[in-house]
Amino acid sequence: MDAAALHQLLSPEGWALLGALPPYDERVAMALSERLHREGIDPVLVAAALTQSRLRAAGRAKFDDFADGMLFTQTGLEQATRFTVAARHAQRYAAAGCTRVGDLTCGIGGDAMAFAALGLGVVAVDADELTAALATVNLRHFPEAEVRHGDGLTTDLTGVDGLFADPARRTAAGRRAHDPAAYTPPLDAVLALRDRFPALGVKVGPGIPHSALPVDAESQWVSVDGDVVEAGLWFGPLAPEGPGRSALVLRGRGATTVRTPEAGLPEVDAGEPGGYLYEPDGAVIRAGLVALVAAEVDGHLLDRTIAYVTADHLVPTPLATAYRVLDVMPFGLKRLRTALRERGVGRVTIKKRGTAVVPEQLRRQLDLRGDAAATVVLTRLKGSQTVLLVEPAGETT
């Protein structure tokens, strides 16, 4: 969408058209577009309205009902923070006593909306003029939010007592930038601001290496219903428990936070599979806190280099998904195929860690037949490729 299309979309006619569109359905979008053209509506407006309808439908996964009143770009939606997570960002600033937050790379305004919804003043800045315009629309209901088009690193921050930044993490070619120096703006440029603004928070890619983490930050990885969605660096009063690594696990309405203990992580041995296999949440794995799962369930690792925990007893934990171990065998296509056929397995979920096997290729080779379902875990045990047949611990054989 360009500036001309946005201008039409924000006109009374355009806004009315967008509000009158039915829930987006890819199967009828073309026919709907053709009908609107026949009714004499400008093709540019039709394309803009249908694009926004599609993005709003996708945006509900992050913004729930708020998406129905927002405007998006594809890139802005992809990078935007889920509102449930953004609300937790806002809570950090409120708990730290901040009253006015500078959002230096506001994008379409998702985090700024969460700040403003909690009663914080917001200065939201974006270097892209169109994106800043969309943020202005999305923040229209919050008089305490001011949107600026410009460079967040050089904007006037008078009156601001907390900073937040979500640097762009894609290259000009659209590829993900894993090197923090390739962020826009670079991570070091953002971190330099903490000398003037101790209450600094920075959203970073969850794949950031531990070697790139500032020693004075709380580095937290966040998962939502099993998906790792972000990592964040929190400084000064935004990290009241001090520096260290932590994981925030959000599942349904529940929230669990774990962090590196002051005494350090417990030592965990590796050994034979027990009656249960635990797959730690991705945020726990990224934070390097798998040892806490092993300690909680009184278990051990299958392999010191792989994030699977096993134990003899079932201990419910929000930090991991538990499976009952049904069988353990060395990896071999013939043996695995036989074991699945004996169980009448026609549908299989394949999980893998520490193996080069391609799940989709293996699924075709298994020639599955039957009505039962099974989960196959491909991993290493004492350095050897191993298969575990498991089922969710809540089910019975």
Instruction: From 98, 145, 144, 142, select the one nearest 126 (Cα to Cα).
Output: 145
Q: What is the residue-level pLDDT of the chain in tens, covering all 397 positions?
A: 788 889 999 999 999 999 999 999 999 999 999 999 999 999 999 999 999 999 999 999 999 999 999 999 999 999 999 999 999 999 999 999 999 999 999 999 999 999 999 999 999 999 999 999 999 999 999 999 999 999 999 999 999 999 999 999 876 666 777 789 999 999 999 999 999 999 999 999 999 999 999 999 999 999 999 999 999 999 999 999 999 999 999 999 899 999 999 888 999 999 999 999 999 999 999 999 999 999 999 999 999 999 999 999 999 999 999 999 999 999 999 999 999 999 999 999 999 999 889 999 999 999 888 899 999 999 998 888 999 999 999 754 3
- Alpha-helix residue ranges (DSSP H) falling in the chain: 3-9, 12-20, 26-38, 43-63, 74-79, 83-95, 110-117, 129-138, 187-191, 282-286, 290-296, 333-342, 359-366
Burial class (CB in 10 A: 0-12, 13-18, 19+), 214: middle
As a whole number of angstroms, the distance between CA 82 and CA 103 comes to 16
If asked whether residues 59 and 148 sit together in one domain, one would say no
Positive or negative torsion for Cα 342, 309, 88, 52? negative
Transcribe 74-143 into DSSP letters. Answer: HHHHHHSPPHHHHHHHHHHHHHTT--EEEETT-TTSHHHHHHHHTT-EEEEEESSHHHHHHHHHHTTT-T
Transcribe 190-204 into DSSP letters. Answer: HHGGGGT-SSEEEEE
Q: Which of the listed residues 28, 51, 72 is the one where a domain comes to its end?
A: 72
Mention every residue, 6+ apart, whose C-beta is less than 8 A from residue 373: 345, 346, 347, 348, 349
Q: What confidence score (pLDDT) does residue 171 get? A: 65
If asked whether residues 155 and 290 sit together in one domain, one would say no
Burial class (CB in 10 A: 0-12, 13-18, 19+), 289: buried
If asked whether residues 82 and 218 sit together in one domain, one would say yes
If asked whether residues 161 and 299 sit together in one domain, one would say no
If asked whether residues 219 and 348 sit together in one domain, one would say no
Q: What confidence score (pLDDT) does residue 213 get? A: 96
* 154 is a domain residue: yes
As a whole number of angstroms, the distance between CA 110 and CA 153 comes to 19
If asked whether residues 191 and 242 sit together in one domain, one would say yes
* 266 is a domain residue: no
* 39 is a domain residue: yes
Q: What confidence score (pLDDT) does residue 397 get? A: 38
Q: What confidence score (pLDDT) does residue 396 get? A: 41
Distance of CA 250 to the CA centre of its chain: 11
Q: What confidence score (pLDDT) does residue 116 get? A: 97
Q: What confidence score (pLDDT) does residue 257 get? A: 97
Residue 67 tokens read as 């998406």
Length of the chain: 397
Q: What confidence score (pLDDT) does residue 179 get? A: 86
If asked whether residues 93 and 242 sit together in one domain, one would say yes
CA angle 242, 243, 244 (to 5 degrees): 120
* 270 is a domain residue: no
As a whole number of angstroms, the distance between CA 368 and CA 208 comes to 39
Give the range of the structural domain holding residue 213, as residue numbers without chain letter. Answer: 77-259
Total domains present in the chain:
3
* 317 is a domain residue: yes
Q: What confidence score (pLDDT) does residue 173 get? A: 60
* 231 is a domain residue: yes
Instruction: From 204, 194, 190, select the one nearest 236 (Cα to Cα).
Output: 194
Residue 357 tokens read as 């096997």
As a whole number of angstroms, the distance between CA 112 and CA 134 comes to 12
* 267 is a domain residue: no
Q: Which of the listed residues 48, 72, 96 is the one where a domain comes to its end?
A: 72
The Cα-based distances of 333 to 98, 336, 361, 366 in angstroms read 59, 5, 11, 7
Whether the CB-CB separation of 82 and 224 falls below 8 Å is answered with yes
How are the residues of the chain apportioned to helix, strand and coil, as percentages rounded to the nearest 5?
A: 35, 30, 35
If asked whether residues 338 and 253 sit together in one domain, one would say no
Instruction: From 243, 192, 247, 244, select the one nearest 223 (Cα to Cα).
Output: 247
If asked whether residues 147 and 162 sit together in one domain, one would say yes
* 135 is a domain residue: yes
